[in-house]
Structure 1
Amino acid sequence: MLQTVRGKIKQNEFGICAAHEHLSIDLSRIKKDPDTILDDEAGMESELHHFYQAGGRSMVELTNEGMGRDVQRLKRLSEVTNVHIIACTGFYKDPFIPDFAQKWDRDAFALYFTKEIEEGIQNTGIYPGVIGEVGTSVNEIKPVEKELIIGAGKAALATGLTVTTHTSLGTMGVEQVNMLFDLGVPKDQIIIGHQDLNTNKDEVLDVLRAGVYIGFDTIGKTNYRPDEDRIAFLLDFIERGYHKQILLSADLTRKSHWKKHGGPGYDLVLQGFIPKLQEHGVTNDVIQDMLINNPAHAFSIKER
């Protein structure tokens, strides 16, 4: 089963999934940029309709507390668009962790996340379906981030929910895996995010060899890396047999990413990226794994 904002659903109901997205978000406290505020609910609805028309049926929304989380809005959007939405519990990374949690240790993080998973988010009656996105900095893991990742792992063990992470520019993925493995978190309960941003193929392969899921989830963000380079890596990983561990998404976080503001919209993976993979000979079975089967398994609640 998977936990959505409208309740639990079966894996075969999940459909084509965008595995790492943001609909309602506010990063302006840190970024000081109004483009990083998504608060237009009618706009969100319109963007989700485009996603649905392209074949999208589910979305994992990883805006957590400190990033502008609004799970009641997500429920309204899910009800009106019929897109399954998974909400999250978690904190992002330094410096986005809320002030009240900056000094917490792993047990405090674990307790907070577990409470939301078991009792619902802030008296809304809405339950998170994933722990995330919990993250680390570029080429380093700050002390509070270490406590955060380990706390998320402890909550995963206690509840059966998957941990999905943020890696800044794709770095520190192996270190995240090792921290979670040291706790005993199973590999099918771990998603290491943003691995399409890491230009060091050997580091990404090390993450894949560990058996965990990875996010190729900043597709279309060509200011970081050309999509042609993403495709080249992805084709190699598929050739090596790792396609059952890969999740796809675009991680939209700005007004300028939306169609109504001239951006590509949440359907960019389905409308632009998938056809390019097909041109390179990627089979429908492999595409179905990355878009449907892998997310359904990755975000399912695991037996404890």
Structure 2
Amino acid sequence: MIQTVRGKIKKEDLGICAAHEHLSIDLSRIKNDPDTILDDEAGMLSELEHFYKAGGRSMIELTNDGMGRDVQRLKRLSEQTNVHIVTCTGFYKDPFIPEFAHGWDRDEFAKHFIDEIENGIGETGILPGIIGEVGTSLNEIKPIEKELIIGAGKASIATGVPVTTHTTLGTMGIEQVDMLFSLRVPKNQIIIGHQDLNTSKEEVLEVLKTGVFIGFDTIGKNNYRPDEERIDFLLDFVSRGFHKQILLSADLTRKSHWKKHGGPGYDIVLKEFIPALIERGVSDEVIQDLLVHNPAHAFSIKERL
């Protein structure tokens, strides 16, 4: 079962899924850049329609409290486009954690996330289906981030809801796994994000060998890393048998990322990246795993331990 903003669906009904996206977001409080504000609801609708036309049927929307989360807007968008949207509970990373949560320990984070999972977000009645994106800084885990990640893990164990992370430029992935494994969070409830940004293949392989899911989820962000390098890594991981652990997405967070403003849009994975994989010989079976089966397994709510 997967929890969407419109209610529960069977995992078989998720379809082609973008595993890490943002539709309605505002990072300007920290970034001081109007490009990081997505508040044009008509624009969101249009961008989602492009995604649907390309074959996309579901989206994991990871804008949490402190990043500009608006779950009622997500529900309206889902109702109008018929795209399944999963919203989240969680906090991002330092310095994006809301002021009211400054100084919280792991148990306070866990309690807050469990409350939203069980009782809904605010007075909306809308339930999150994922804990995330909870993150760490570049090449370090700050004390508040450690408490946040462990709190997310505790909430995941208590509820069976999976946890998805942010790694800054792909760093600290194995450290995140170790923290979550220390709590005995099952490997099939863990998604380590942004591993396509890590240029150390050995570090990414270390994460994959633990059995958790990873995100190749900044596709098209060639200013960080060329997609050709992402494809080279992905082909190697497929050849090693890790294709059932990899999730794809583009992680759009800026106006300039939208088609409306000349950007690639949410369909870039389906219209550009997947054809490139097929051209390089990736089988239909593996493509179905990457787009459909892996997200269905990763985002389904598991039995409570």
TM bucket, shorter chain = over 0.9
CA shift, 1:12, in A, is 1.0
1:156-171 map, 5 Å: 156-171=156-171
The amino acid that maps onto 1:2 is I
State the TM-score, normalizing by the size of structure 1. 1.00
CA shift, 1:102, in A, is 1.4
The aligned counterpart of 1:92 is 92
Query: Percent same amino acid at aligned positions?
Result: 79
Correspondence 1:54 to 2:54: yes
SS of match in other structure, 2:154 = helix
The aligned counterpart of 1:149 is 149
Whole-Å Cα distance in 2 between the matches of residues 123 and 60 of structure 1?
22
SS of match in other structure, 1:19 = strand
1:267-303 superposed Cα distances (whole Å, 9 cap, x missing partner): 0000000000000000010010010000001000000
For the aligned residue pairs, the C-alpha RMSD in angstroms reads 0.3
Whole-Å Cα distance in 2 between the matches of residues 164 and 250 of structure 1?
15
1:4-23 map, 5 Å: 4-23=4-23
SS of match in other structure, 2:131 = strand
The amino acid that maps onto 1:91 is F
Whole-Å Cα distance in 1 between the matches of residues 11 and 251 of structure 2?
23
The aligned counterpart of 2:128 is 128
Correspondence 1:176 to 2:181: no
Whole-Å Cα distance in 2 between the matches of residues 159 and 42 of structure 1?
35
Whole-Å Cα distance in 2 between the matches of residues 87 and 71 of structure 1?
7
The aligned counterpart of 1:37 is 37
The amino acid that maps onto 1:13 is D
The amino acid that maps onto 1:109 is F
The amino acid that maps onto 2:143 is P
The aligned counterpart of 1:215 is 215
Whole-Å Cα distance in 2 between the matches of residues 279 and 288 of structure 1?
15
SS of match in other structure, 2:164 = strand
The amino acid that maps onto 2:245 is Q
Aligned residue-pair number: 304
SS of match in other structure, 2:35 = helix
State the TM-score, normalizing by the size of structure 2. 0.99
Whole-Å Cα distance in 1 between the matches of residues 277 and 188 of structure 2?
25
List alignment gaps of at least 5 residues for structure 2. none
1:190-214 superposed Cα distances (whole Å, 9 cap, x missing partner): 0000000000000000000000000
SS of match in other structure, 1:18 = strand
CA shift, 1:157, in A, is 0.3
1:192-248 superposed Cα distances (whole Å, 9 cap, x missing partner): 000000000000000000000000000000000000000000000000000000000
Whole-Å Cα distance in 2 between the matches of residues 264 and 277 of structure 1?
18
Q: Stretches of 4+ moved more than 4 A in 1? A: none
The aligned counterpart of 2:240 is 240
The amino acid that maps onto 1:204 is V
Whole-Å Cα distance in 1 between the matches of residues 259 and 279 of structure 2?
25
CA shift, 1:131, in A, is 0.1
CA shift, 1:25, in A, is 0.1
The aligned counterpart of 1:302 is 302
Whole-Å Cα distance in 1 between the matches of residues 270 and 215 of structure 2?
16
1:45-84 map, 5 Å: 45-84=45-84
CA shift, 1:143, in A, is 0.1
CA shift, 1:98, in A, is 0.6
